[in-house]
Chains A and B, each alone.
Chain A
C-alpha cells in the first residue's frame, strides 16, 4: 500500500512579467488502488500540479510538501521521482529526434528496474503491451513521439505506464485529442495498470467523458490554484450538467 500525500502545495512560475503564483495551497491524498479525478476550467492550475509533482524545472515550489510513503518527493531529482514510483502521462509528450521507441523503453526499464531486462522476455513484454493498445509493431523503430499523431502519443504514454509499472500515475489530460475508439483503448490500458499493479491514479481532465471509462473514486474540483470542492463520482455528473461557472466566480 502506497500513499501520495500533497500538503499545502504552493507553486509559482516565472513569466516575462515576473513570478506568477499558480498553486495556492493544494491538499490531496491518494492511496494505492484509488482513482482521483481532478476537474477544472482551463488555466486553473491542473497541469501545474501534475508537472510540479513530476519535478519540471520550470516551476518554483514556494511552500507545502509532497511525500510518497513518507519520502520527500520535492527533494528528489526528476529521475529519482520516477524511481520512487511516480509516473506522469503528459498532455504534450516531447519529441526526441534520433532516439527509437524501443531504445527509449529499454533504457527507461533498465533505469527503473536496476538492471537491463532479459532480451527475450523484454521483446515479448513490449510486443504484448503494443498489441494491447492496438499499436503497429513498426512503432518500436520510430523516433520517440516524432511525427506521432495525437492519439499515437497518448497510446505511447499509456504503453509506458503499463511497462514501467509505477505506484502512482498522474494522467494529464490524457483524453484530450482522442476520438471515441482511441479513448476506449487508452482507458482500458489505464484500467489494466490499475488492476495489475494496484496503481493509484490522479486523473486530470477538463471533460467528464473519460470518467465513463475510468471510474473515479473521488472527484475534486480545481479552480484558481486550489481544490474548491470534493465529492464522489456523482460530483462529476453535477459538473457535466452545470459546468464550472459556479466555481470560477467564487
Chain B
C-alpha cells in the first residue's frame, strides 16, 4: 500500500466540474488522502472467444484528461487491463467482465482499455458489483469501421464509491454505443466522454439511473465534435425516490468550427418519485459552426403522471403495481437496448426492489 503524494490541484467544490459532487464522501479519492491498494478487480466472467484477449499491459493513455482523479490514477497505476478485440472479428454474444476483491479500506486505481481493430464488432458488458472504493480511467478505442456496444452496469453495494471516466475515441465510420445503468453505490460519478477522430463516426450514449435515499449519482457527458459529419445521440433517464437522493446529469456537446455536417441531439428525463429528492439536469450545447445537420437538446423533470396511474388503477391494478409498471415502462426504452434478456430482467427486478425499498 502507498499513500498518494503527487501534488495535483485538489478540487474544492467551487470548480464547474465538481460543483455538484459531495467531495467529503469521496473518501480521499480526489485529494490524495486515500491509501492505495495494488489490486486489480476487473476480471473476465467466462472464457474469451478467439480473437479476444484480456491482458495487463503498459499502455500510454489514448487521450489527455483534465480530471484530477484521472491524473492521479495515471500517476500511480502502471499497468492497464486491456480487452482487445482483433480486426475483422464479429462476436455475437456479449463479452462479460466483472469485479472481484473490492475493499472500502483502501482505494483501487484502475486503468482499463477496450480496443477494437478495424471492422471488429462486439458487445462488452461490465458488471460493476460489490463494495469497493474504486477510481477508474477506462478508455475505449474504436478503429475505422468498427462497432461496439459498451454496457456498464453499476450494481454496487450500498457503501461503494466509484468515480470514473469512460472515454471513447471513435475513428472513421466506427459506431460506438454506451449504456450506463447506475442503480447501486453511495457515490457514483461517471464521465462518459467521446471524441471523434475522423468523419462518419457516430456515438450513442444511453443511460438510466435510479437513486434512493442518500445516494448520489452523477453522469457528466462530453461529446467533442472536432471532425465533420459525425453523429451523436444522448438519452439518459433517471428516477429518484427518498430523502436526499441526488442525481446530476450534465450533457456537454461541443461542435467545433471544423465540424460541419454534425448531427447531434441530447435528452435527459427525470422522474421524481417522492419529496426530498433532487435531480440536476444541465444540457449544454456549444456551437462554433452553423453548417450542421442538426443540434438540439431537451431536459424534463416531473412526477408520476396522475392520468397514467388512474388509467391503470381503473383496471383493478393497485397503486403500487401501477407505479411499478410506469417506472418499468419509463426505463424499458433504454434497458431493452442492452440486448440480453437475463441482464435486463435482473436490472428491472433491482429497480422494482429499489422502488419498494423507497416506499414511493
Contact = CB atoms under 8 A, between A and B. Distances in A.
A123 to B, nearest CB: 19
B279 to A, nearest CB: 19
B315 A111 contact: yes
A99 interface: yes
A78 B314 contact: yes
Contacts of A98: 328-333
A99 B316 CA distance: 16
Nearest to B306: A57
Given A107-B325, A164-B316, A96 B333 contact: no
A245 interface: no
Contacts of A111: 315-318, 321
A54 B317 contact: no
Contacts of B325: 96, 99, 103-104, 107
A90 interface: yes
A73 to B, nearest CB: 13
A90 B315 contact: no
Nearest to B309: A78
Residue among B305, B314, B319, B328 with most chain A CB within 10 A: B314
Given A79-B316, A98-B329, A56 B310 contact: yes
Given A78-B314, A108-B315, A94 B326 contact: no
Nearest to B317: A111
Nearest to A94: B311
Interface string B92-122: 0000000000000000000000000000000
A143 interface: yes
Interface residues of A, number: 31
A79 B328 CA distance: 20
B313 interface: yes
Contacts of B326: 96, 99
B315 A82 contact: yes
B308 A94 contact: yes
Contacts of A58: 306
Nearest to B326: A96
A83 interface: yes
A96 B313 contact: no
A81 B312 CA distance: 12
B166 to A, nearest CB: 26
B310 A79 contact: no
A92 to B, nearest CB: 9
B66 interface: no
Given A79-B319, A96-B326, A97-B333, A88 B314 contact: yes
Interface in A149-206: 160, 164
B329 A79 contact: no
Contact of A164 (B307, B315, B321, B333): B315
Interface of B: 305-308, 310-319, 321-322, 325-326, 328-333
22 contacts: A54-B310, A55-B310, A57-B306, A58-B306, A79-B318, A82-B313, A82-B314, A88-B314, A90-B314, A94-B308, A96-B325, A96-B329, A97-B329, A97-B333, A98-B332, A99-B329, A99-B332, A104-B312, A107-B321, A108-B315, A111-B316, A112-B315
Given A81-B314, A87-B314, A112-B316, 19 more contacts: A55-B314, A79-B313, A79-B314, A79-B317, A90-B314, A94-B308, A95-B308, A96-B308, A96-B312, A96-B325, A98-B328, A98-B329, A98-B330, A99-B325, A107-B321, A108-B316, A108-B317, A111-B317, A164-B316
Interface of A: 54-58, 77-79, 81-83, 87-88, 90, 93-99, 103-104, 107-108, 111-112, 143-144, 160, 164
